[in-house]
A and B are shown apart, each in its own frame.
Chain A
Amino acid sequence: MTRRAARHLLGMLIAAVGLVAGLPAPAAAAPSGEVTIGLAAEPNTFDPHLTVGRNTQIFIVNVYDGLTARDAKGNLVPALATSWKRLNPTTWQFTLRKGVKFHNGDDFNADSVKFTLDRAIDPETKATIISELSTITRTEIVDPYTVNVITKSPDFLLPVRLGELFGLMLSPKHTKAAGKQTIATKPNGTGPFKLVAWTKNERMVLEANEQYWRGAPKVKRIVVRPILEDAARIAALQAGEVDMIAPVPHVRIADLKRNEKLVIKTIPAPRIFHVTIDVRKPPFDNVKVRQALNYAVDVNAILKSLYFGYGTRLATVVDKGALGYDPGVQPYPYDPKKARALLAEAGFPNGFETEFDSFTGSIADHSKPAEAIVGYLEKVGLKIKQNVFEFSAFGPRRVQNRTAPLFIYSIGNAYLEPSWVIRWLTQGGLGMHYKNARLDQMLTRIEATDDPQKRAPLYSEVQKLIKDEAPFIFLFQADAVFGMSTRIDYSPRPDETQWLYPLGLKG
Chain B
Amino acid sequence: MRGYIAARLATAVLVVLGVSVVSFCLTFLTGDPAEIMLPQGATAEQIARFRAAWGFDDPLPVQYWRFLSRAAHGDFGVSLRHGEASLPLIAARLPATLQLTVTAMLLAIVLAVPLGVLAATHRGGPIDMLAMGVALLGQSVPNFWLAIMMILLFAVSWGLLPTSGRGGPAHVVMPAVAIAINLMALLTRLVRTTMIEVLAEDYVRTGRSKGLREIMVLTRHALPNALIPLVTVVGLQFGYILGGAVVIETVFTWPGVGLFTIQAILNRDYPVVQASVFVLATGVVLINLIVDLLYVWLDPRIRLG
Contact = CB atoms under 8 A, between A and B. Distances in A.
A82 B40 CA distance: 29
Contacts of A420: 41
Contact of B82 (A44, A203, A225, A227): A44
Contacts of B54: 126
Contacts of A393: 30-31
Q: Give the interface size class of chain B.
A: 35 or more
Most chain A CB atoms below 10 A, which of B38, B267, B268: B38
A45 B37 CA distance: 12
B5 to A, nearest CB: 37
Contacts of B38: 128-129, 131
B43 A430 contact: yes
Contacts of A233: 164
B37 A128 contact: yes
A420 B263 CA distance: 30
Interface stretch (A110-118, A140-148, A194-202, A445-453): A194-202
Contacts of A488: none
B41 A424 contact: yes
B100 interface: no
Given A232-B151, A392-B268, A239 B159 contact: yes
B255 A235 contact: no
A411 interface: yes
Given A228-B250, A393-B31, A396-B32, A200 B82 contact: yes
Nearest to B259: A201
Contact of A52 (B30, B53, B156, B267): B267
B202 interface: no
Nearest to A410: B40
Contact of A241 (B93, B148, B162): B162
A123 interface: yes
A232 B164 contact: yes
B255 A199 contact: yes
Given A227-B253, A236-B164, A238-B156, A131 B50 contact: yes
Interface in A382-416: 390, 392-393, 395-396, 398-399, 411-412, 414
Interface in B77-127: 80-84, 93
A429 interface: yes
A228 B151 contact: no
Interface in B232-290: 250-253, 255, 259-260, 263, 266-268
A258 to B, nearest CB: 14
B219 interface: no
Given A45-B83, A238-B156, A396-B32, A228 B259 contact: yes
A396 B163 CA distance: 39
Contacts of A226: 253
B165 interface: yes
Contact of A232 (B45, B83, B166, B253): B253
A354 B155 CA distance: 50
Contacts of A54: 39-40
A235 B151 contact: yes
Nearest to A394: B31
A238 B120 CA distance: 44
Contact of B155 (A134, A235, A392, A396): A235
A233 to B, nearest CB: 8
B298 interface: no
A201 B253 contact: yes
A180 interface: yes
B152 A235 contact: yes
B80 A52 contact: yes
A52 B37 contact: yes
A293 to B, nearest CB: 24
A505 interface: no
B255 A201 contact: yes
A129 B268 contact: no
Contacts of B81: 44-45, 52
B77 to A, nearest CB: 13
A47 interface: yes
A77 to B, nearest CB: 22
B43 A131 contact: yes
Nearest to B266: A361
Contacts of A343: none
Interface string A156-199: 00000000001000000000000011001000000000000001
A227 B46 contact: no
A259 B41 CA distance: 39
A57 B40 CA distance: 12
Nearest to A199: B255
Contacts of B292: none
B36 interface: yes
A130 B47 CA distance: 10
A289 to B, nearest CB: 26
A132 interface: yes
A202 B249 CA distance: 12
Interface in A198-227: 199-203, 225-227
A429 B82 contact: no
A398 B38 CA distance: 15
A180 B82 CA distance: 11
Contacts of A395: 31-32, 35-36
Contact of B84 (A134, A184, A427): A184
A30 interface: no
A505 to B, nearest CB: 22
Contact of A131 (B41, B82, B83, B148): B41
A50 interface: yes
B47 A53 contact: no
B44 interface: yes
Sort A-B residue pairs by CB-CB distance and give the 10 closest, nearest first.
A392-B31, A201-B255, A429-B44, A131-B42, A131-B46, A44-B81, A232-B164, A395-B35, A235-B163, A236-B163
Interface of A: 44-45, 47, 50, 52-54, 57, 123, 126, 128-132, 134, 166, 180-181, 184, 199-203, 225-229, 231-233, 235-236, 238-241, 361, 390, 392-393, 395-396, 398-399, 411-412, 414, 420, 424, 427, 429-430
23 contacts: A52-B37, A57-B39, A128-B37, A128-B50, A131-B46, A134-B46, A166-B39, A180-B83, A184-B83, A202-B165, A228-B259, A229-B148, A229-B164, A232-B148, A232-B252, A235-B151, A235-B156, A236-B163, A241-B163, A361-B266, A411-B40, A424-B41, A430-B44
Given A228-B253, A231-B152, A399-B44, 4 more contacts: A52-B267, A126-B53, A227-B165, A228-B259
